Amino acid sequence: MRSSFGAAFLAISGTCYVILGVDFMLLLTTWPVTALLVATDLRQSWLALVLVSPLLAPAGAAACTVFRGFWLDGSANVLSGFAKAWWRARPTLLIGLAGAGLGGVLVVDAQFVATSPWGALTLPPLAVVTVLAGLVFPYALVAWSEYPGLKARHALRAALLVAVRRWPSSLVSLAALTLLVGLFAVRPVLVALALPAPVLYIVWAGARRGLTSLRPDLPWLPQTHQAGPVPVVSPAGTRTVVPRPGGASLALSPGSAQTR
């Protein structure tokens, strides 16, 4: 009883620590975006928000990396882990720039549609593109965090396929993001301090599950991504060397096995 209670307490406290730490690091690394959202009228400052929004990409990828480490290894090294992952995630700025460019185009199109006589016809496809963009770009950051070094176009292709084909998980992620936006409009400071990490965790979990299930249909992803040690076949082809912790290795031959 005590051991199970202690394990549950450690799991809950570790999860809370990870969520709070990720929230803090997200605020620290995306403060220009947060400042614009909290302190300005978006009807006047939307262009400035589009310009600084690419900063969300490395921060989002770093948060997904922290979630992955906590989920797979139980690692609660949040602050330094986030900082290192954020620095390595600089290439995701390309994904952020693509998202910012599309966001700017959508805002301009929405303003045009609002005053256009064809607004009733063009609004539905515009809404569909907006919803897909709101899912694809976060999913692309998850793909990059799972496969570091992945090219931006490959991450976006994988994200689009996962968002469309794993639509039940996509609906959950979309509901979480919509709730975040809706609550932010009412209580911006409180939401900015407490909700980004939990919502991002929901998005990360859904996207990662989709990437895992659709992995055979994503041939452009790196083939060497595995959860455990990668077996290495010797040039002679008669022995397989499996790396083990501590520098040792397990040598497997057709009729024997030995540790070296």
pLDDT of residue 224: 52
Yes or no: say if 203 and 176 are a contact pair by the CB < 8 Å rule. yes
| Portion of the chain with pLDDT greater than 70, in percent | 81
pLDDT number for residue 164:
93
In this predicted structure, the answer to whether residue 238 has a pLDDT above a threshold of 70 is no
- Residue 181 lies in domain: 2-227
Who wins on pLDDT, 129 or 14?
A: 129
Work out the average pLDDT over 72-98.
90
Are 223 and 258 part of one and the same domain? no
Burial letters 181-217, b for 16+ CB under 10 A, else e: eeebeeeeeebbeebbbebbbbbbbbbbebbeeeeee
- On whether both 184 and 84 belong to a single domain, the answer is yes
Asked if the model's pLDDT at residue 91 lies above 70, the reply is yes
The mean per-residue pLDDT over the stretch 102-110 comes to 88
**pLDDT at residue 123 in the model:** 79
pLDDT of residue 13: 78
Q: So what's the pLDDT on residue 223?
A: 66
Q: Does one domain contain both 110 and 239?
A: no
**Are residue 34 and residue 122 in the same domain, yes or no?**
yes
Same domain, 155 and 26: yes
* 191 and 235 fall within a common domain: no
pLDDT of residue 245: 40
Cα–Cα distance list, 235 to 27, 224, 239 (Å): 50, 18, 9
Residue 251 or residue 137, greater confidence: 137
Other CB atoms within 10 Å distance of the CB of residue 107 = 16
Q: Does 186 share its domain with 260? A: no
Residue 104 has pLDDT above 80, yes or no: yes
Q: Please give the average per-residue pLDDT across 73-94, as a whole number.
A: 90
214 and 240 assigned to the same domain: no
Looking at the 3D structure of the chain, how many domains does it have? 2
Q: Mind listing the pLDDT tens digit for each residue in 169-219?
A: 999 999 999 999 888 888 888 888 888 999 999 999 999 999 988 888 888
Q: Are residues 169 and 254 in the same domain?
A: no
Q: 143 and 253 share a domain?
A: no
Q: Are residues 130 and 235 in the same domain?
A: no
Q: Is pLDDT at 239 greater than 70 in this prediction?
A: no
What pLDDT was estimated at residue 76? 73
At residue 259, the pLDDT reads 41
Which whole number is the average pLDDT over 4-27? 82
- Mean pLDDT across the chain, nearest whole number? 81
Instruction: State the pLDDT confidence band at 7, using cuts at 50, 70 and 90.
Output: low
For residues 252 and 197, state if they share a domain: no
